[in-house]
Amino acid sequence: MNLAELRKKAEMEFSANGFPTTREELWRFSDVSPVANAVFSNDWKPSELEFQSLEGSLVVVFENGKLSREKSNLGNLPEGVRIGSILDFPDPRIGSLAGTQSAFVAANTARFSDGLWIEVDDGVQLETPIHLIHLADLDGAAFHLRNFISVGENASATLVEEYVGEPFYWTNTVTECFVADRGLLDRYKIQRESPSAFHFQTLEARLGAEAVFSNHAVTLGSRLGRDDIRAKLAGRGGEAICNGLYLLNGKQHFDTHLFVDHAVPECNSHELYKGILDEKAHAVFCGRILVRQDAQQTDAVQSNRNLLLSRGAKVNTLPQLEIYADDVKCTHGATIGELDEQALYYLQTRGIDPVQGQAMLTGAFANEVLDEIRCAPFKAYAEERVRTWLEGVAK
Amino acid sequence: MEKTMALLEIKNLHASVAGNQILKGINLTINPGEVHAIMGPNGSGKSTLSNVLAGNEAYEKTQGEILFQGKNLDDLAAHERACAGIFLAFQYPVEIPGISNMYFLKAAVNAVRESRGEEPLDAMDFLDLVEEKKKMVQIRDDLLERAVNSGFSGGEKKRNEIFQMAMLEPRLGILDETDSGLDIDALRIVSDGVNALRGSDRGFLVITHYQRLLDYIVPDFVHVLVNGQIVKSGGKELALELENEGYASWNGEQQ
């Protein structure tokens, strides 16, 4: 099936099935009817939002769903690295990971307007991070962005995706990543969408033998959103790392669904997800690890920890381990707790006021995730955004 | 001659925790330079007294008055009391994962300095201060880099408390059963640290169950706390008397 046929099929499936409802198991804690019931335009205009690219990065700017060549910095790419619009590079692998079963993926496949395409050739180490920024400022619009990343054998790359905007819109992105044998892809996402926007992303990654894929999602924005992250360990000795930090307040609802598929032996996966929720925010975390019968010597660790700062905040956390191999090491843990009053009092007896004390304690809680970020400029940027958020809720 | 102002004056203090009346009329005055020991059996209200003084909101003062350097403490929250110069060395220091001891100390020192209208210490000056004070209680460098009290031994935690006290230079140091869980070497190190901090402008309230600590930190006054009241006060010899006779006689008197 070529891309045109795939898009037609996706449109038909999306028209026939529509959006999921809370009667479906995968969606039972996330009601997407606000998205389903809204009417979105397909207009376009350039964005007026300011942006700042990460220091030393190759910045690729999308404005209201379309690549801006003027605002991007793709002039001097190293040899063996190609970056551009997905419309110019219709890779036959597009859609091969994401399929069209999910309504959001189907809608994206049918309607994507543009997206980032990256190919890093075998043996090429791209040291410079690629910084994708999506600027959204078209009220009432839907943005279907489709990204495709291919990292060759013994190659490496770092991708940062940033989503930002105002006031009301729907971002619906799909990113498919192929990491070939012994390849390395570090991917980061910072989601700073408008507090009234919808943000949905499906991330699909397929790892070859001894390949490493690490994903770090920092979520601060959107009224209603979800990350579907699916990593398939398809080659012996691969490693998948999926970390995340969600900071939610007001009536924000954010859902993370992870799925790590151990299909072959001797692979590792690590997942550390932490959340801090204030006011009436609601988080959902579902972490599914599938260890297939052949996947002996699997080492899988999953942890989801949540800190609730108010009585109105809520978390549903659902670890799901499905293990069919008999020689594996799998652990998981999930906690939901409150700020440690004893620790806060202890800080206070040393002269630290409760506002600063809370920011210090929540900062310490968040740092465990941020400390895992290997891309230094992104780490500094994420830390600053997180600190600002934490100081804001401590007041 | 003008009378010097007391460091701490506690008048007819009543306090409760979770609805239970624990302190039932405490009177105590500590002048600058004095070390007062409060001894008492378990459940007599020793820790309640230290928590009420430090401003723990779980403890409710129901009656009486606490004046610190002439100022009523009622309206001061725990951090404001700390900034005013009250330091509580905890019986059970709290572990705070994720915050390094150094980061924590710098925040504390600068919070106290800020409250006095002083400039915050920069990184260099702060390190100099740490170097100077850490010798006092023999704090190892790796403990400074570790998360606050996390995985510290009992002795290390107590040394860390005294180290913090040395860094913050309070007017009043309250030691809440600092001797509990200490072996004899750690007890000596901690006591040496406290003794080095004794001075004419600083007072101490040393709360303990056992006389042993008072061999090292020799008090000027000893008070016996039983069932929420001070039932006897005297000089340091009173501690020895208690060691020999126990608290039983006073417990008996209450019944």
B90-116 pLDDT, tens digit each: 999 999 999 999 999 999 999 999 999
Q: How far is the CA of B65 from the CAs of A263, A348, B72, B73, B134, in angstroms?
A: 70, 22, 7, 8, 36
> CB neighbours (10 Å) of residue A210?
18
What does the alpha-carbon distance between residue B187 and residue B179 come to, in Å, rounded to a whole number? 6
* Structural domains present in chain B: 8-254 (3.40.50.300)
Alpha carbon of A262: minimum distance to chain B alpha carbons (Å): 32
**Chain A residues interacting with chain B (CB cutoff of 8 angstroms):** 340, 342-343, 345-354, 356-357, 360-361, 363-365, 367-368
Q: What is the mean pLDDT of residues B29-41?
A: 96
* pLDDT > 90? residue B249: no
Q: Please report, as a single letter, which amino acid is at residue B145.
A: E
Measured CA to CA in angstroms, residue A362 lies from A215, A243, A266, A279, B145 at distances of: 22, 17, 36, 15, 19
Q: What is the pLDDT of residue B255?
A: 39
Question: Mind telling me how many Å the CA of A351 is from chain B's nearest CA?
Answer: 4
Find the residue in B nearest to A351 (Cα).
B79
User: What pLDDT score was predicted for residue B210?
Assistant: 87
pLDDT higher than threshold 70 for residue A145: yes
Residues of B in contact with A340 (CB under 8 A): 94, 96
User: What is the DSSP secondary structure assignment for residue B34, as one 8-state letter?
Assistant: -
pLDDT of residue A330 exceeding 90, the answer is: yes
Would you call B77 helix, strand, or coil by DSSP? coil
- The pair of structure tokens assigned to B240 is 């020895």
Are the beta carbons of B55 and A340 separated by less than 8 Å? no
C-alpha distance from A342 to closest chain B C-alpha (Å)? 7
Q: What is the pLDDT of residues A335-387, one digit of tens each?
A: 999 999 999 999 999 999 999 999 999 999 999 999 999 999 999 999 999 99
Does B108 contact A352 at a Cβ distance shorter than 8 Å? yes
At residue B240, φ and ψ (nearest 5 deg) are: -65, -40
User: Could B98 and A354 be called an inter-chain contact, meaning their C-beta atoms sit closer than 8 Å?
Assistant: no
Plot region of B98 (φ>0 → left; ψ -120 to 50 → alpha; else → beta): left
Q: How many other CB atoms sit within 10 Å of the CB of residue B92? A: 15
DSSP for residue B15:
E
Q: Give the C-alpha separation, A63 to A114, whole Å.
A: 10
Residues of B in Cβ contact (< 8 Å) with A387? none
Nearest to B49 by CA among B31, B30, B34, B32: B30
- Beta-carbon contacts of A252 under 8 Å, excluding residues fewer than 6 positions away, are A195, A222, A223, A224, A225, A281, A282
What number is the average pLDDT over the span B154-177?
96
Distance CA B213, CA B181 (A): 12
The predicted pLDDT at position B251 comes to 63
Position B2 pLDDT exceeds 80: no
Interface of B with A in 149-178 (CB under 8 A): 164, 168
ipTM: 0.95
Counting beta carbons within 10 angstroms of the beta carbon of residue A329, is it exposed (0 to 12), middle (13 to 18) or buried (19 or more)? Answer: exposed
Residue of A335, A341, A346, A371 best to disrupt the B interface, most CBs of B under 10 A: A346
Report the residue of chain B nearest A360, measured CA to CA: B99
Give the integer Cα–Cα distance in Å for A315 and A274. 11
Q: According to the 3-state scheme, what is the secondary structure of chain A?
A: CCHHHHHHHHHHHHHHHCCCCCCCHHHCCCCCHHHHHCCCECCCCCCCCCCCCCCCCEEEEEECCEEECCCCCCCCCCCCEEEEECCCCCCCCCCCCCCCCCHHHHHHHHHCCECEEEEECCCCECCCCEEEEEEECCCCEEEEEEEEEEECCCCEEEEEEEEEECCCEEEEEEEEEEECCCCEEEEEEEEECCCCCEEEEEEEEEECCCCEEEEEEEECCCCEEEEEEEEEECCCCCEEEEEEEEEECCCCEEEEEEEEEECCCCCEEEEEEEEEECCCCEEEEEEEEEECCCCCCCEEEEEEEEEECCCCCEEEEEEEEEECCCCCEEEEEEEEEECCHHHHHHHHCCCCCHHHHHHHHHHHHHHHHHCCCCCHHHHHHHHHHHHHHHHHHHC
pLDDT higher than 70, residue A38: yes
Bridge partners of residue A246, in order along the sequence: A219, A275
Using pLDDT thresholds of 50, 70 and 90, give the confidence band for residue A197.
very high
Q: What is the mean pLDDT of residues A88-105?
A: 93
Measured between CA atoms, the residue of chain A closest to residue B51 is A349
Is the CB of B82 less than 8 angstroms away from the CB of A351? yes
Question: Residues for chain A: how many in total?
Answer: 395
Residues B73/B79, Cβ–Cβ less than 8 Å: no
Alpha-carbon distance A270 to A331, whole Å?
10
Does residue B37 surpass a pLDDT of 70? yes
pLDDT category of residue B3 using cuts at 50, 70 and 90: low
CB contact under 8 A, A351 and B111: yes
Q: Residue B152 contacts by C-beta under 8 Å, 6 or more apart in sequence?
A: B93, B95, B143, B146, B160
**Predicted local distance difference test score (pLDDT) of residue B254:** 46
Tokens 């892809």: give the residue.
Answer: A185
